[in-house]
């Protein structure tokens, strides 16, 4: 599957705190998504369905073929957990995070593309 991550809506690098496929309306960073959230939308899930859900295991029952290799029976695979850790790691530089995610998704047959700019102030180092 090919999918695109918009950096202006991509939630990452915050050590998993508050990370969701799509962050809900009552939370900080409302409307932002982790990389797997962008993939979920491309796989045909609605924003309403993925809102507030943390991992593919919580949604794979609706489209199991789309999540083959990512989750099975509500449990994330090892490679999916590596994707999650890479997305959420505060220690990675953006270039390294994107490169690692490209490699990890490619192992599952996916192509990830990054577009747009990170919102000013998203990272404390801005």
Find all residues with CB under 8 Å of 119, minimum gap 6, and list them: 8
Confidence band of 124 (pLDDT split at 50, 70, 90): low
For 112-122, what is each residue's pLDDT tens digit? 999 999 988 88
Region 47-67: what's the mean pLDDT?
94
Per the prediction, the chain carries an average pLDDT of 93
Does residue 125 register a pLDDT over 80?
Answer: no
**71-72/75-76 β-pairing:** antiparallel
| Predicted TM-score of the model (pTM) | 0.94
Give me the residue spans of the domains in the chain.
2-115
Q: If you average pLDDT over residues 54-72, what whole number do you get?
A: 94
- Give the span between the Cα atoms of 113 and 116, in whole angstroms: 10
């Amino acid at each position: 599957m090919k999918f695109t991550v918009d950096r202006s809506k991509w939630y990452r690098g915050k050590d998993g705190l508050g990370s969701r496929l799509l962050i809900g309306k009552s939370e900080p960073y409302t409307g932002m998504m982790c990389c797997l959230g962008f993939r979920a939308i491309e796989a045909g899930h609605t924003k309403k369905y993925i809102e507030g859900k943390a991992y593919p295991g919580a949604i794979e029952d609706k489209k199991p073929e789309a999540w083959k290799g990512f989750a099975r029976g509500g449990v994330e695979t090892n490679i999916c957990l590596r994707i999650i850790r890479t997305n959420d790691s505060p220690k990675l530089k953006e270039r390294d995070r994107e490169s690692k995610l490209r490699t990890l998704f490619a192992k599952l047959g996916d192509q990830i593309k990054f577009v747009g700019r990170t919102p000013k102030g998203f990272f404390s180092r801005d």
